[in-house]
Structure 1
């Protein structure tokens, strides 16, 4: 029987992108609630419990409420909100995180879709902690820039308002100045870190695409580690992965600049190792689409695994 999938919150940015990826497929059936009954708890509960899989594209509180409405134990849930990313009993939906995570996602009925920034940050740290190259208690600072689509409808409207006084004046802006970004708990928990990192995000005047950076002093890592050894550890960790890969050192060395829009409209994430052995410093960078591998693409990948379908279907 073709599995039925219900997107609760399909009118939002992430929901629309997931719907776009699922609509052309014939290996699942996408079902929708009558728009006039979206706020009817009984109608929503019926949709949530009748589906084989539900993808929640809702604010945190609404996502928690939606989960509470699900009484059918057979329903599989993917939550794209922040609500369950460090909650016991929920599986973190980054299949490439380690060698066991893909199997955990496939076997789970409750999967939390990662945050976009967190996907990049964890992709950089988890392999190095696992390989005993990075001390888990090392104080880290992540820098990142994202397209304004990551801020939802209000930010999209703001950045696309040509009548606004700063429309042509502000190319980007920093935010989360109190160092309390909502992705920090999952970065620490799933990145293998014992010390809360500093995270300094920015939003640029472009729609989608993301860079997440981690600068490191080689002398603060375990042993007399080299830039090449860091690259080797990352390459080994992601060997054979379809959606995550590591640029060669020669490719990285040949790059003069890196475009955050470089992987737009894909479910890919690419890691670069910049720096020099002589300076004793490296700059690790993850490039991804905040709407792709950072949101809707990841949700579709997790859905495929949970339903036993081809992992790359629709991607």
Structure 2
């Protein structure tokens, strides 16, 4: 592009939108905004999309679908789209915006007209599981159980208000009907053939996340050890800036990466008991949301 790339954030006042806007200050881009009083005006939004090279959607699912339909009315003048909602994460017509997913994923993102930004919990779960499934050490039909805890900023406006106004609970499980909207995304992009069990939770801290997955090593392919699992992950993510495979630690604090756009992966193990625990630590608003969006924006606009 001869001109400085123009970005329109539809939903820039939300948590993810604000995080993206803050990060864009370091990039050679122009941010196109509309009058806040007209933020729901279809005509104003359509004009903003037409003026943009890239539209970033930070909207609820239904509103994202409406925005994509609105962009489609522009025909050849439509911008490329990065969507941060759940709406298109399993849609085969969209590229999944996890640059470290496969060797060719970053290039696919760079050239795609439509990219779906991953969810925070799936970033940790898929980041741990997919390399192991692809390497053949974790059977695709393994009965995966995923436990995760996030800062309350990932729970939406009502949860944020409850914690910041009333103190909120120290810890709570939710999604106990086992129908959390992130499960289809994990199921597909982790390359699993059996639907995983996913139990999310929230703690009384604003930002940070740990995703953990226990494994019985005797149920994996061959006489696999925790060290073997670590080696697979380390090989897959070698040279990556945003994902690091580190040695196990005796304890992990979910808040340690708050404010960071990195993710840390570990394999903890008990050789005597033939058990292992996979863990991913990240910031739910960083690599789990706005930080991942910035990675995708840089790729889509050729800024890397």
Q: Does the pair score TM above 0.5?
A: yes
Question: CA–CA distance in 2 between the matches of 1:35 and 1:234?
Answer: 45
Residues 1:207 and 2:211 aligned together: no
Runs of 4+, deviation exceeding 6 Å: none
Kept in 2, the 8 Å contact 1:209–1:289? The answer is yes
Aligned to 1:234, the other structure's residue is in SS state helix
| Deviations 1:137-164, CA, capped at 9 Å, x for gaps | 11110000000000122211111113xx
Query: 8 Å contact 1:127–1:234 — kept in the other structure?
Result: yes
Aligned to 1:313: none
Between the aligned partners of 1:144 and 1:138, the Cα distance in structure 2 is 18
Query: Is the Cα–Cα contact under 8 Å of residues 13 and 153 in structure 1 kept in the other structure?
Result: no
- Pairs aligned (count): 299
SS in 2 for 1:177: coil
Matching residue of 1:59: 60
Gaps of 5+ in 2: none
Report the equivalent of 2:179: 180
On the 8 A contact 1:56/1:80 being kept in 2, the answer is: yes
Question: What displacement does 1:23 show?
Answer: 2.5
Identify the residue that residue 273 of structure 2 maps to in structure 1. Answer: 279
Q: Alignment partner of 2:299: what SS? A: helix
- Match status 1:189 vs 2:183: no
Q: Secondary structure at the match of 1:128?
A: helix
Are 1:49 and 1:72, in contact at CA under 8 Å, matched by a contact in 2?
A: no
User: How far, CA to CA, are the matches of 1:194 and 1:110 in structure 2?
Assistant: 26
Q: Aligned residue for 1:99?
A: 103
Q: In 1, Cα distance between the equivalents of 2:130 and 2:294?
A: 23
Q: Deviations over 1:113-172 (max 9, x none)?
A: 00000000000100001110011011110000000000122211111113xxxx37x311
**Is residue 289 of structure 1 aligned with residue 276 of structure 2?**
no
User: Matches of 1:226 and 1:35 in 2, distance apart?
Assistant: 55
Partner of 1:94, secondary structure, is: coil
Q: CA deviation at 1:24?
A: 4.0
C-alpha distance after superposition, 1:166-206 (max 9, x if no partner) = x37x3110000100011000101000100000001100000
Aligned to 2:121: 117
> What is aligned with 2:243?
244
Instruction: Name stretches of at least 5 consecutive residues in structure 1 with no aligned partner.
Output: 311-315
Q: For 2:301, which of 294, 307, 314 is the aligned residue?
A: 307
TM-score, scaled relative to structure 2:
0.96
Q: CA deviation at 1:256?
A: 2.4
Q: CA offset at residue 227 of structure 1? A: 1.2
Out of 11, 14, 18, which is 1:9 matched to? 11
TM-score by length of 1: 0.93
Give the 5 Å matches for 1:67-82. Answer: 67-70=68-71, 71-73=74-76, 75-82=79-86
Q: Which whole-Å CA distance do the structure 1 matches of 2:207 and 2:243 have between them?
A: 18
Could you tell me which residue of structure 2 aligns to residue 36 of structure 1? 37
Tell me what 2:90 maps to: 86
How far apart are the structure 1 equivalents of 2:212 and 2:137? 18
